[in-house]
Each structure stands twice: as structure tokens, then as C-alpha cells.
Structure 1
Amino acid sequence: MPQAERPISWTPLLATADWMSPEVRNQLAEALDAAADEIPEEPRHLTAWTDRQDLARVGTDTSGLCELAWAEYGMEIAAPFLDNEVIRACLAVPADQRGTPGRYKPLLGEAFAHTDVVPDFVLSRATKGGFNALAYAGLTRHAAVLAHLLGPTSRLSAVGLITQAPVERMLQRAAAGQPTAQGALHLAVSAEVWLRQMETTTTTSWWEVSNHVAAA
């Protein structure tokens, strides 16, 4: 179903919603309703809420990438835009003023204009680099591996989180270089790999020790 025809919701639906069985979709909808009911106060502006959610997601992803880069390559990644003072300064600006339709990255431009800290071509850039060609080349090259990973024996399929017909059609489109929901595919592959790894890794248990958490 086209996104424009879907009911308005707080949570945008990815293509993975169409890959789930009806039973799992209903369970997920009920879980979202229950979580929404527990929110003590609805946000006055949706932008403020989504910005904080996006910030938490980016921070978590960056933290994980920093750990991987250090552990695998001994490389330290700097993330100055996630510095606490930078975040506080940005969030001090009303949500509806942090971005404008006619200007790209207005806060960054105002903060670093005429400072020589950030090159002018970065501040004036209105687009991002595209990696679609590389992504589709990878999807084409590894189409058979992905088809096996997300096939009938997949762990996601066993619990109804994906169904075969739409996933097969999506992988066929990807292998042919046709437009594909790459973000949704990435999430499905990550979840499938994680579930498979859980079967072969040692069980971890968590408990609270004084003021910190320990694992074994």
C-alpha cells in the first residue's frame, strides 16, 4: 500500500511492515498502542520528539561504530557534533527553527560562518554523496547469499517477521538493480544475522552489582 494511503501514525512504516504476517502486524500494533499509553505527556510539537529520537539513534550507532573501529583497526573516530555542549546548544533553538525549506543546515552555517573551521563548500552544500551504485552492485553480487539467508529456513520467517513472497520479489528487484527498500533490507539482514549468532554464542546473564551492571 502506498505510504500516502496509510493511516497517519507516529511511527513511519518501513517496507518490513509489508513483509510480516498479519498476526505479527497485529501484535506489533498492540505493543505500540500500549507503549503510547504509557507516555505521561504527549509532545507539543512532533519535531521536538522526532529530533530527540533521531539523536538517540545516531548516538547509539556512532558509539557502536567507534567501538568497532577501535577494536578492529585501532582507529579513533571523533564525533564533535555529538558533543554534549553542541547538542545542548542546538536543542536550545526551537525545533521549528532548526531547519528551513530554503536553507540546508542553517545552524551549522550560522555557527561556523567565516571561521575557517568548516570549509565553505561544506557549509553551502545542499546534497549528500550517493552510494546507490555500490549498494546495488553488492546486492547483485550477493543475491544468492541473501536469498538463502532470508529464505524458508530463516529465523525471521519462522516467527512470522517476514513472509517469503514479498521478500523474494524484493531480492529479485535488488539483483536486477531496480529501486529497492535498502533500509528495510538492511534491518532484516541485520536481525537475521543477529538471531543466527544468538544460537552459537554463550548465554549472557545480567545482574546489578552495587551501582553498576555486571555480565557473565
Structure 2
Amino acid sequence: AGLPGMPGTVLGHGTGAGERLLAVTFNDLAGGSASGPAGGPLGGREDELARAGALAANPRLHHVVVAGGEDTLPYADLDGPLTDEPGPSLVIAARHRARLAAGSADHFTGYGARQVLDAHPARLADLLVDRKRRHLVRPVAALAKADGSVMVPARVYAAARRLARTPYRTGLENLAGQLLRHQLGDEAPGGAADASLAALTWGRPGPAARWLTGEALAEVSVRLQASTSRSEVGPGQRPGDFRARAALARHAADLRVLEQAAEIRFQRLHTPFLDNQVVRACRALPEALRVRPGARAAILRTVLEGAGVRELPAGWGAPTQATTAAAARTGLRVAADTLMALFDTPLLAEAGLVEARVVRKALRAAAEGEPLPLDGLADLVSLELWLRRLLARRGTCWTGTPGRQRAVPEGIAPQRGALARGV
């Protein structure tokens, strides 16, 4: 990069000759964590900054660290444009906008790496379907070590075996029954083992299901039961592959929402991990390799070594998610009053999907540190925001406006079809 007329030359930044590539790292200064006080740097973020600094020592890179204060916490800035659809990333759009604003005209991100490279816990059932039991030893041992319980291997193996023997239709019927009986897994996962056990199913209630009304859950249950008569998994598709594809599709859809909500004018956002060819290449990896602990970092290191990049700092390729959860909880606490006002008379309650009192109680409890699924609260807040923005935009477009209300004089003939299309 940086050679005039050569691929990779950065345009619009000086002459282009010898121009260094811009590398951006976000440093959360306002979030608190279990290992550090609120108002100080997140514990896991210091290691990531050290690794980023080591990589940025390359003379071809110009390293910029974006210091995020309280104004970049989740839920801090809930104003934004109307996106095509709702998504949980609406509550963190301002956070990402601050980071993207420091980038250049073409900004590359690592979105999707976890969903494309990591193995979904349901892939353990795929190993049993393929009679590769010995490959369960390493991932199950890692879960047992992280949980500290000798019963984890037996529980995980039993859950994987049960899923491997459960047809897709039966899985949907079981899910519909859970929703109808309000069996939503009210206990928040206590660790990696509990989260993996909960994911070893064809489908499970979403994290926001516990706050939906009985009528809403019953309606979803009826729709699921009706779909069992016509829904079939494709030939050869196994539960782990099915769940991994669904998780990737949800992440890609939410990324589209984030692109619209955090858009920087004249900037093109690139996500190489979600490129079709990259996704196909990652799907071709054997499942026995994907389920190994630390597989993502090992795969990325191997790929980069083939490209000539060998000197990578220790711990690179597997950043912790603890800092993200800590920042979300801190953001809830800081924006508690704003969120309470948002759910004073929510549109979701008017639609019969939630009870405002129940959601306000959950927001207050989460802000005080109670172990509740934060991603479920993000779903509810994002959907409420999106509905309010949608209603605020109604009546502002030209499409469907009666002729007498159009802002074009009667004697002027507009270009054919232009006014009807709203352009």
C-alpha cells in the first residue's frame, strides 16, 4: 500500500505516495468491570490495547486510539435515523459511530469473525451424528475446566446425544410447548457450560421472551405449531450446521442495521469475514477442528502465516467478551432515567407485547447489577426505538400522497413516474 498507481493506495489522503494505512482501536474509558472500578479502563481492554500497539509498530501503519467516554456507552445516545428494520445494534450505534468517524474512506472491520469461525455448541451433536465421539474430549474438558464441575462432561454429552437424536419437527414442537407453558429458562446462564447446554437444541426462547406477555408467547407458540406441518430441514442438514447458519444470518442482518444507524458520510464499510467466498471457505473447515478450544485464533494465525505475517503478539485473535457485557451494564446504569421514560408509555405495551411495569422493573434490576440477559433488554429497547422512529416518519414521504397535496404547481408536468416514486 502507498505506492502510486498500485492496488491498496489510499486515495484522498495526501499524494498517495508513501501514505501509511490507518489503524483504529477503540478504548472504552467509561465502562466498569469486575476487575476494575467504574470510570476506569476495562480490565480486558488493556491487553487488547497492548496487542494493537505491538501490531501498529509497523512503520506502514498509523495507529489512532479512540478514547470512549460516557457519551459512547451503550444506551447513551438513542437518537438516530430510521433503519430498514429493528436490531439490537441500535442501542450501540453512537458507540460505533465514534469509532468509525476516526477511520478513512474505506474502513475494514472484523465483524462476523466469531460467527463464521467459531463453532456453535450445537456442533457437538453433529460430531455424534458422524460418530466422532473422541473429538468431544477437548471441548468438553475445556468447559469442565471453566465451570469447575466434574458433572459437566456427562451433562454436555447427554445434551448433545439428545439433540443428535431429535428430529427438527420435534424440536419445533418442543419449543412451541415451552413458550405455551412459559418455560423460558428464567435462570441466567452462570457460565460457559450453562450457555453451551442451553444452546444444544434446535431452537430456544429468545432472551427477551421472559418479558413478553402470555398472549404474545401463545401467538408465537401457535405459529410454530402451524409451521411444523410444512417446515423441513434440508437433506443432510444437521442441528449444529442449522444453528450456526441461523446465528450468522441474524448477525449479518443486525450488521446491516448498524451500518445504517452508524453511517459516516462518504465512508464505505467493509466486512471481509461476511464475504460469500470467506463464509464458504470457513464452512469447509472440518467440525473436529472448529470445536477445539482456541480454534479461531489458530485458524487465523495459519492463514496469515500463509500470507507472510508471522510475528503476532500472544493472545491475538481471541478477544474477551467480558468488556462488552461490562460496558452494557454500565450504560444501563448511566441511562437508567432515559430508559425509564422510554418505557413510561411504550408502543410495545400498546401492542400487547409487553407490560410497561415489568420492563421498567427489569431495567432497574439490570442497572443495579442483577444477572439478567442484557441482550434481551437490548432487543426490547431497540424495538421500541424503531417503532417510535417509524411512527415519527409516517406522512413525511411523497409516495401515496393525494395529488391536491403535492408541492408541484398544477400547470407543471413532472417527469414521468418521478413524483409517484418519491424522487
TM-score, with length taken from structure 1: 0.76
CA-based RMSD of the aligned residues comes to 3.3
- Asked whether the equivalents of residues 66 and 76 of structure 1 are also in contact (C-alpha less than 8 Å), the reply is no
Question: Which SS does the other structure have where 1:52 is aligned?
Answer: helix
Counterpart residue type for residue 146 of structure 1: L
Give the aligned length.
205
Partner of 1:135: 328
Q: Within 2, Cα distance between the matches of 1:85 and 1:141?
A: 42
Q: Does the aligned pair in 1 maintain the 2:336–2:363 contact within 8 Å?
A: yes
Structure 2 partner of 1:62: 255
Q: CA deviation at 1:190?
A: 0.9
Match of 2:375 among 174, 180, 183: 183
Q: What one-letter code is carried by the residue in structure 2 that aligns with 1:102?
A: P
Check the 8 A contact 1:90/1:107 in 2, yes or no. no
Matching residue of 1:2: 187
CA distance in 1 between partners of 2:314 and 2:272 (Å): 19
- Residue 135 of structure 1 deviates from its aligned partner by 2.1
One-letter amino acid matched to 1:138: G
Cα distance in 2 for residues equivalent to 1:11 and 1:35: 13
- Counting only pairs closer than 5 Å after superposition, residues 144-163 of structure 1 correspond to structure 2 as 144-151=337-344, 153-163=345-355
State the alpha-carbon separation in 2 of the partners of residues 198 and 126 from structure 1: 36
Measured after TM superposition, the shift of residue 18 of structure 1 is: 1.6
Partner of 1:99: 290
Residue in 2 that maps onto 1:20: 212
Q: How high is the TM-score relative to the length of structure 2?
A: 0.42
Which segments of 5 or more consecutive residues in structure 2 lack a partner in the other structure?
Answer: 1-185, 189-193, 401-419
Counterpart residue type for residue 2 of structure 1: E
Q: Quote the Cα distance in structure 2 between the aligned partners of 1:65 and 1:123.
A: 25
Determine the C-alpha separation between the residues in 2 that align with 1:53 and 1:17.
18
Distance 1:110 1:135, change over 3 A: same
The amino acid across from 2:214 in the alignment is P
Q: Tell me if the contact between 2:346 and 2:356 (Cα under 8 Å) persists in the aligned partners.
A: no
Relative to structure 2, which stretch is displaced further, 184-193 or 156-165?
156-165
- The superposition leaves residues 172-216 of structure 1 with CA deviations (integer Å, 9 ceiling, x where unpaired) of 21232333321011110111111112222136779xxxxxxx965
Amino acid in structure 1 at the alignment position of 2:290: G
Give secondary structure in 2 for the equivalent of 1:140: helix
Separation in 2, partners of 1:80, 1:121: 23
- Checking the alignment, whether the CA contact within 8 Å between 2:202 and 2:243 is kept in structure 1 is no
- Identity between Structure 1 and Structure 2 (%): 25
Residues in 2 aligned to 1:215 and 1:122: alpha-carbon distance in whole angstroms: 53
2:266 is aligned to 74
Change in 2 beyond 3 A, CA 1:215/1:180:
farther
Which amino acid in structure 2 is aligned with residue 17 of structure 1? Answer: A
- Call closer, same or farther: CA 1:136–1:189 in 2, change over 3 Å: same
> 1:198 matched to which residue of 2?
390
Unaligned stretches of 5+ in structure 1?
Answer: 207-213
CA drift of 1:75 comes to 2.9
Structure with the bigger percentage of helix: 1
Q: Which residue of 2 aligns with 1:210?
A: none
Following the alignment from structure 2 to structure 1, what is the Cα–Cα distance between the partners of residues 278 and 311?
Answer: 15
Give the distance between the partners of 2:421 and 2:251, measured in 1 at CA: 25
What's the counterpart of residue 211 of structure 1? Answer: none
Counterpart of 2:208 in structure 1: which amino acid?
Answer: T
Q: Distance in 1 between matches of 2:231 and 2:260?
A: 32
Structure number, greater radius of gyration: 2
CA distance change for structure 1 residues 118 and 61 in 2, over 3 Å: closer, same or farther? Answer: farther
AA matched with 2:343? L
Aligned to 2:240: 47
- 1:83 Cα offset (Å): 1.6
